[in-house]
């Protein structure tokens, strides 16, 4: 039972470690739900929005993390 608690704690920590990424994905899913339900967007297009949107959010997150880790080369 203890290992399940540790596993759950690690998953929660991993999910909320980067708040921008978590909030961006939640906003993307919420916006897609609103577009499909309220605006009458086709369900196939509604499925493509989270697919490509998540890839864009992930790429932006990786680029942001890479900039924080490795300093930019500055000309001297």
**Residue 6 placed within a domain:** no
pLDDT digits (tens, 9 = 90+) for 13-24: 877 777 888 888
pLDDT digits (tens, 9 = 90+) for 51-63: 999 999 989 988 8
* Pairwise CA distance, residues 72 & 66, whole Å: 10
According to the model, what pLDDT value does residue 35 have?
92
* Pairwise CA distance, residues 56 & 62, whole Å: 10
H helical segments located in the chain: 2-16, 19-37, 43-69
**Residue 13 placed within a domain:** no
User: Domain residues for 39?
Assistant: 18-69
Number of domains in the chain: 1
**Residue 49 placed within a domain:** yes
């Amino acid at each position: 039972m203890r290992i399940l608690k540790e596993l759950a704690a690690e998953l929660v920590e991993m999910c909320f470690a980067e708040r921008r990424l978590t909030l961006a994905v939640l906003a993307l899913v919420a916006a897609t739900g609103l577009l499909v339900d309220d605006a009458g967007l086709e369900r196939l297009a509604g499925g493509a929005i989270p697919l490509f949107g998540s890839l864009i959010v992930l790429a932006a997150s990786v680029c942001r993390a890479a900039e924080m880790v490795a300093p930019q080369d500055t000309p001297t």
